[in-house]
Each structure stands twice: as C-alpha cells, then as structure tokens.
Structure 1
C-alpha cells in the first residue's frame, strides 16, 4: 500500500493515498488519505547502531510509540488546512486527513456528492485510513512500532467521528471536535418531527432532493473571494451546499438521535466552538465573527452527552470552523488546543502504554 502514495495537490510535504472501498450503484467507491507526517529522525551512524544493538541485547526495549492525528472534514468540504497540519507536526505528531467517500479528492464522476444513507458506512473509510496510516508510519520505523491515533473532526465529520468512537471503544487516544453537528438546529422536537415526515421519502426515494435555500453565507465568511482568508477549490468546496438528499439527511437525523440518547466515549474529548451563533438567511456582518451554521449552545449541550470526560472551549469572534477564523482567534484556539493536547495526548505516561 505504501508504494501507492503520490504527491498531493497541496504541494511539498503532502502525499495522498487512494483507499479502495468496493462499489455501490454509482460505481467504485474510494476514500483518500492525505499525509503530512513529521520527518523521521536521521539514520543512526555505524557507531550508533552498534551501541543500540548492544543496548537491546542487554535490555530489550519496545519501540517508542508514535502519536498520530486523523482529521475528518465536514459537509461539502475537503482537507486543505495546511496550518492545522503544521501545528500537529510542530508537536511531533504525525498528521493525516481523510477525504471521505464522495467528498473532495474522493468524489468520482457520476457520483452523488456526499451521499450516504447510513453514517455507519463510514466505518470502512475510517478503518482503511487507520490501517494505511499505521503502515505508512511503520514503513520508516520498526515494524512493530506502536501507533497511538487520536481523531479530530469538524461539523458533520464530528458526528461521524463521535458515533464511530462510541462503537469502537479502545481504538483511539482522544477525540477532538471542531464545532460538531450533534443536533438539528432548533431542538429535538424539530428533529423528531422532521424525521417522521422524511421517513417515507427516504425509504422510497432516498436520492430525492429537498427544496431548501442554497445559502452562501458561511462560504463568504471563510473564502478569500468573500470576507474570509482562505483559498478554496470551487469544485471541491463550492459556495453553496451540495443538494440535500432525503436519504442523507435521514441518516444524519438518526445520528443526532443516537447522540441525544447519550454516547459512552471513554477517552478525553475536546469540543471547540464559537461563543455565539448567527441564525439568518441573509448575510449580516456578525457572520464574520460567529457560527453562521449551527446553534452553538445546543451543540455544547449535546457535547456533554458524548462521554464522561468532555472539555468545552468557546471562543469569542470564532467562525463555524474555529480554525478558519481570523488570525487572533486562531492563535487563541491553537493555544488552548496545544495546552489540552499536552495534557491528554502527549503525556509521557499515556505515550508509554503498550
């Protein structure tokens, strides 16, 4: 698998790997793993190898564990956040990002963008990515090097990652959620009523397109072509959301219902969110300094149901993706993220676990 890695369009220091996931009625399904791992240490000298061999003969020791982060994007999205990759690399953490099936690098001609009818189907994407990144790391180290993986995810990806972590205890070190979509904006009453109305349509015509407004407000808040700072590929991240399909939204609402009943994720969880939301159809200037997609108060309420150890950090003037906010906000976010990571991801006693 390692031989199939190729240079990614993000440029120097980035590689990508296509993960084959079978087929559905639209053809072959793939996910794409993007790598930005810290450079491996230089090879030891002859004298150093000799000393190492003598040391192992006298007192055999296990290889040093490697910490890795696997990042999952949100809806109508793909991985482009090189600043985030550099942050983790600066901490000595191997960084990988996953473009899920039918998103970004993984979307193939003729496929329905982002379409899925059961969020659990993404288990195959995550499992393939974790296996591939483990092999990739071990290809430059000893074959039995322990790899400690933490999940980081944004928005809809945060819902997917949370449900996966609940179903797969003991597989990750920590879960980091950047404005996760854990409940329908409004309340559980709205979600329940919506799910009831959608169920027949989702069952009979799952690809039926729902008539909802096509908003560009959030894109405007992050894109350099609008009021934001980021260069976005218009094919991979169009200004308005992809069409909402009955089967897809039904799968999301089912995931929200699971969260509302409470999950049991037994690893440290960090939830990053804006301090405020702006709920409006038309553009307002406050959308440049708030979450214009989700209700952050409801998000935090649901976040506390994910597991017994949840840390919530909210940031004034942050956007929906807090790491795409203005530079002063991002500096505060990265400061808190580093503080939390050093306590719960990089602690020596955690890294030394076998």
Structure 2
C-alpha cells in the first residue's frame, strides 16, 4: 500500500484499495486521508476555530453518497480540530475510481461495499495510536449513510460511533410506495439487473452546491456528474432491500447521530426554496426512520440545510458543525465523568 498526493492538494493523500469480487475480478476503491501541514483555519460562518483536543482521540471514516465522491476539505479540517484522524473512502464505481468502462454507481447488493470498508478500517487501525483511547466513527452521507448503517449492523463492535448526514433510509412517502417499487423491479432485476430505468433527470441538488450554478463548491464533473448516474434496476432493488432492513429496525447498540434538513423541496422545476432545503429526500420520512436505527439516536434538524447539511450556506453549516461538536463532546470525548452507580448520591 502506497500513499500518494491526492487531487485535493498538499494536505491530502490517497491510496488504492483492490478487493476481489465473488467472480474473481477486481474492484478498486480509493482511501483518502487528511494530514495537515500547517495551522488550522477557521470554519466558515463563525470566524473562529473549534477547540482541538489532544491528538490520538481516534479516527473518522467518511462514506460519500451515490453518484458522488469526497471533496469537502472543510469537513476534514473540522475533524482534525477535534483531534481525530480523518479518512474518506471513494467506493468502487464512484469518484476517483471511475473509468471509461465503469458502470457508474452500480452495485447489486449494498453488502458488496463491505470488503472495501473493512480494508479501509484495517488500514486506519494499523496507523492509529493503538492505545485504549483509540476509537473509530463511521460517517455517511445519503446512500453512503444507508450503506454505513447496514454495515454497522453486520459488523457490530468494529466502530464505536455512527454519524449520518441526510441518510437515505426510506423512499418518498411511505413503506407502501417502497413495497410497490420492489414488486415492480424484482422481476426486472432477475432478468436484466443492469437495465436503465428511464426516469426524469433532476439536477437541482447539484445546482444548489456547484460554484458553476447557485452554490459555492468546486466540483470535478469527472468524479461527480451534474446529473446522477443512470438508475439501474439491480441497484434500485439493492437500495429498496436496504430500506426494508431499516424499517424492521437495526438494533444498533452504539451512539448514532443523524442530521437532516429542516425542510424538503421536491418538484420537477427549480424553486428558490431549494437553496435552503433538501431537494432530494423527504426529511420527515427520514427523521421517522432514524428512530429505528438503534437504542441511542440523536436527531438534529438543521434549518436551511441542503441535502448535505455540511455543504449548506456558511451560517447554516456553522450551526451544523456546532451541533456536531456538541455531540462529540457529549459522546466521543474520553474525559466524560464516570456514571453514578445505583444508590450513590
């Protein structure tokens, strides 16, 4: 394994992870790490640095959403200020791994990501402090949030915290719509799993974040196309199956933090409200589904938040970061007071 300079600049390195498919062919994922060379810079919207804890608190692994890649330098800087090593994984058929013959974003089973996530975590553990304070948080956005939650259920005890940013935990509307969609795609997925569904293209979320449109973020269209990847029936079947698992309850026994926007803005034409709302998911449905994840779930609704709340306007994401810092202090810090035993005053 060799680390090399990453597309994000001098403070980032990346390495290629190769894993084998059941059929024998190789899948390629890319692990990115943040190694700052200079002093911390203030977070957007508040003009000050968050307090940095002692080094060696642990590490964070971030999973991007569908049709996406990791590019949020500010998120990496935030975690470094808290004393955590930051890593992000561009999963196979996404981002840094896309090639001319790639079937962008395609996977027939969300568990197919397990091998590359496991490989990334082994690397993170190997370069960590190795002491008793070492802990790992898994963080996921949108479809990456769904992948992260399902992975955590299958691999209990491997990570200590789960942080989800607008996770895609359910379809719009209700489970009734999901079951209807499952009935439609199941026979197609058996016969032609890579068949493309002809669905309307909506680039509103991209428009809300890209500096070339209404947003402030510099995106590389080679890694994150303005319109999402074509929806293939095998991939949709895998996502719907994941939604069904969440609906039945995951029973996670680690602390879970879920961020969602304060409002949704869906439709077939651009609306100004899409600048300060989730233009992808039904946030009320996601908020309800979040409660099925485990025994200790914190839900934060971010007024004015975009689909990725950490790409929202500066004042909005400053609020999100402040809430994340508060949760870290409450759940992830290693200097928490000891619990009072039963009967003690």
TM-score (norm: length of structure 2): 0.89
State the Cα deviation string for residues 248-280 of structure 1 (Å, max 9, x = none). 000000000000011111111111111000110
C-alpha distance in 2, partners of 1:15/1:105?
Answer: 12
C-alpha distance in 2, partners of 1:210/1:257?
Answer: 21
What does 1:253-268 align with in structure 2 at a 5 Å threshold? 253-268=240-255
- 2:75 is matched with 84
- 1:94 is matched with 85
Please state how far the C-alpha of 1:145 moved relative to its aligned partner: 7.3
C-alpha distance in 1, partners of 2:257/2:94?
Answer: 25
Secondary structure of residue in 2 paired with 1:254: helix
1:167 to 128, 144, 154: 154
Please state how far the C-alpha of 1:171 moved relative to its aligned partner: 1.2
- 1:31 is matched with 29
State the Cα deviation string for residues 164-187 of structure 1 (Å, max 9, x = none). 111111111111000000001121
Cα 1:291–1:208 shift into 2, 3 Å: same
1:181 to 168, 191, 204: 168
Cα 1:220–1:172 shift into 2, 3 Å: same
State the Cα deviation string for residues 49-83 of structure 1 (Å, max 9, x = none). xxxxxxxxxxxxxxx96410000000110000000
What does 1:109-124 align with in structure 2 at a 5 Å threshold? 109-124=100-115
Cα 1:164–1:134 shift into 2, 3 Å: same
Cα 1:265–1:105 shift into 2, 3 Å: same
Question: Does residue 1:205 correspond to 2:192, yes or no?
Answer: yes
C-alpha distance in 1, partners of 2:103/2:95?
Answer: 12
Q: Compute the RMSD of aligned alpha carbons.
A: 1.9
C-alpha distance in 1, partners of 2:21/2:98?
Answer: 13
Cα 1:131–1:180 shift into 2, 3 Å: same
**Equivalenced residues, count:** 321
C-alpha distance in 1, partners of 2:24/2:77?
Answer: 36
C-alpha distance in 2, partners of 1:245/1:347?
Answer: 44
State the Cα deviation string for residues 114-139 of structure 1 (Å, max 9, x = none). 1101001111011010011222335x
Secondary structure of residue in 2 paired with 1:347: coil
1:15–1:35 contact (8 Å) kept in structure 2: yes
Structure 2 residue runs of 5 or longer lacking an equivalent are: 38-54, 338-345
TM-score (norm: length of structure 1): 0.87
C-alpha distance in 1, partners of 2:131/2:95?
Answer: 33
1:104 to 92, 95, 110: 95
Please state how far the C-alpha of 1:111 moved relative to its aligned partner: 1.8
Please state how far the C-alpha of 1:106 moved relative to its aligned partner: 1.8
Secondary structure of residue in 1 paired with 2:167: coil
- 2:12 is matched with 14
